[in-house]
Structure 1
């Protein structure tokens, strides 16, 4: 009975709370940032970057060489971003995350344009830094693994040497026991 009464009171309170008008002031409207379409160069840059993923390994080499030559001839922001995106997105042996990070992470200037403040750079710099940390951790783990294999090999060689010594001692012991048996027989 008490349970039913308690349940009825809780439900009545919940219903009353739903009917009470909200006297709290409304929350301030938050500003919604709408992504801009970007200028024509940004759209073309994204199209070119997307096309890198569709190239075969044989096509990536000449494309990288073309981008390096274009950047060497004219050090514009567009050429720098294309080459950086190429290095960042294509697989090894053509890709190079360190070079990509160096090309993306430049200060803004007249020659560099927006530099590290370019939207593409702001997206890819943290990803490249995380990838670099992961690569460094992987290299450290691989080195530890190689060291453990060396240690394991050294221990196995030690074990083999000790086993050979033990086998030699057992053989010597058998010979001694055989001599004693042959001496007792006559």
Structure 2
């Protein structure tokens, strides 16, 4: 797996998954696996486009669940070919949606895989519908646990407050105690 920054990677074609992927929980893993499988079917590289820090950490001060280094290691384990970790700062947050679309076009994006709530660009003006005007967009459904509850980074943060390591590990699909106790 190769890591890159925004506007650094240029490809002839690819399949791209976009999201904060904070925690890289089981829902994120399912989305990324599906995107990687689709890229393999098409014979093109798989790309994960993510943000450092995640936008909610930048704007709302949410706790970051996964450092960019941890995220890159997890993407490698998920057999992703390239991961773009865009530096999310004031300048990046002010980019118009069209700049993001232009960057995706420079990746030769054939398909985009994202969650239904994905928004991008200044003021979250960019929508899934806007992306659909340029690319084939695949909306990945929310993944739920056995009890029917949505697996999300917000839920992991709530469980961290309760120190419910068993449920956290279940949602993440890996052991997390050492990671979170050191933060």
Q: Fold-level match, TM-score > 0.5?
A: no
Give the structure with the larger helix fraction.
1
TM-score normalised by length of structure 1: 0.24
Q: Give 1 or 2 for the bigger CA radius of gyration.
A: 1
More RCO (CA 8 Å, sep 6+) = 2
Larger strand share, 1 or 2: 2
TM-score by length of 2: 0.24
